[in-house]
Structure 1
């Protein structure tokens, strides 16, 4: 299930690292998306 969710996230959600976003200057909603993507990615790798 997480592998499918990770593919959907890759298509829909923005990639902040490709845009050159500095993590220390990220807004709360950007940090929430980063955390969500991290959680799904780590679960998909298991």
Structure 2
């Protein structure tokens, strides 16, 4: 299930690393997206 969700994240959610976002200057909603993507990615790898 997490592998499918990871693919959906890749398609729909923005990639902040490509935008060169500085994590110390990220807004709350950007940090929430980063955290969600991290959670899904780590679960998909397991």
Gaps of 5+ in 1: none
Gaps of 5+ in 2: none
- TM-score normalised by structure 1 residue count: 0.99
Could you list the structure 1 runs, at least 4 aligned residues long, displaced by more than 4 angstroms after superposition.
Answer: none
Q: Aligned-pair RMSD on alpha carbons?
A: 0.2
- TM-score normalised by structure 2 residue count: 0.99
Q: How many residues align?
A: 46
